[in-house]
Structure 1
Amino acid sequence: MFCRFSYSVLTIFTASLLTFANTACSQEEKKVDGSVAYLPSLRGDYFSLHSAEVGRKYHIYVRLPEGYEKTKNQRFPTVYLLDGDSTFPMLAPLHLFMHYDDQIPETIIVGIAYGSFEPDVNMRHFDFRTVMDDGSRGGALQFLSMLEKELIPRIDRRFRTDPARRVLVGQSRGGSAVLQAAWLKPRLSWAHIASNPGREPDTKLLYGMDRDVPASTQGGYLIVASGSHDRDYLRGTALEWRDRFASRADLPWKARFIDVEGGTHAADLGNAYRAAMKVIFDAGPEKGNN
């Protein structure tokens, strides 16, 4: 009786173990099959960053240049994308095609993501603002400290970056954050691309329009791209920036205004990015480089 019972228990246990193993293998296969490793235009790296400066976690996605492993001594420009939850899967593959068609240099692309669009997780409404609507302080300074002290040094250690060609890109509120970075941390990036940036709640201007020019910077680019069909109040402020700011000769950056004809607020980010990168790298078939 005891032997028969033990055998039955052993049989049931073995069958259960095999079922669990098969289920685990099946789940692992699904996980692997769904990995971005099978999307070569997004292939690179991922890590989570627990920021002491901000006090929250970010998800960092990295797209490496095509043939990165074979170019052992080459260093690459690095593009940092705010709102990486949506901008990274949009612009990383686009950049590859820009490299093919426009002769834009291959770059390391870093997407800074929150992991959700839910407002209790996605804190762009706080991280990208110096002043909130009610006049209280936003989290922009802490966010910039996270970039400067935590994320950028980690990317520079981990990958073959060219620190002299660092580009910061943002859309809407993220565009405001790019303008803030240009003024508050002018040496952090070489080029700044703000697509349809939001206005400041206190001045109703784009960040920096009412400020004194920084005493000294490393130069580089400050680009505002505006869709002609953007929201009226944002379009109007961007045109004011073009007329009052981009035409100034005393700026430490090469300020450029890009008019995205027919562009809307968010859906034309790819067009704004492409046009801005062609300005920065002086590239494209129309330059006679093809």
Structure 2
Amino acid sequence: MTGTSGGHDETVVDVEGRHLRLRRLEKVLYPSTGTTKAELLTYVSSVAPALLAQLADRPLTRKRWPDGVGKNSFFEKNVPRGLPDWVRTVELDAPGSTKDRERVRYPLIDDLAGLVWLVNLAALELHVPQWRVGPRGGVHHPDRLVIDLDPGEGTGLAECAEVALAVRERLDADGLECHPVTSGSKGMQLYAKVSGTQDADVLRSYAHRLAREMERDRPELVVSRMTKVLRGGRVLLDWSQNNSAKTTIAPYSPRGRERPCAAAPRTWAELADPGSLRQVSLDEVAARYLGDGDLLAHLGPDAEPGPRVPTS
């Protein structure tokens, strides 16, 4: 990525042959650390191949902080004004709307230029569903199962790791290999590649059964219901993220929290030492990717399909 000055607070950059006008690169997006838009661009460029693999063909919902974290933010589904003509889009029914009554035009991010465009808009968080769309915009069945572990008051990553290890054992018994990602916020997600031949309702039902079984076996640690009064001192095993209308923070995406962290793929060896677990900063995620490669390569669009989930 190369750039030249484009006038007051503006830089014109060439990103793999595409020209973008970037504004206020020195704008601080994370006041607690002084992290700027330019530094966020450096992070995104560093992990671009892995992040793009997680976004590939998935309609993208963004959460934007135009004035940096700590100020107002908003979720954005429809593409904004000024969309570059080279950004691919897909138009789908709005989640929860009566069919054909409301439509949303989502961006599909295919390349580094698309990521740079997003950062320029201060789109710090990138949220995607567990399914992809085809070349003509048709919605495919989900190709991954996600288990979201959300710590209640009085719990944290150590308790999430304990639950994750138990979930791993349970999924392994069903032939599913899962991989942990600390969310960059409070908890973590577990992802398992699935066949892509079962609809979202099947995966959601499977995850719900798993959550209830874990709650039955470990009632002091796990809760499967979102009722706030039940969650203190326990970890919510959120099965609902497999609903076709839901999105989850994309692995490698930055988070709009006080500290500049990202959703970071982790190893099971790290989870075996829960006392040392913490959320991982942007610089650390970039360094881990440079040293270890993409720990979630098996979840990418070109990976072999996973198994079907049991239906009973």
TM range (shorter): under 0.3
Which of the two has greater strand per residue? 2
Larger Cα Rg: Structure 1 or Structure 2?
1
Which of the two has greater helix per residue? 1
Q: What TM-score, normalized by structure 2, do the two folds share?
A: 0.25
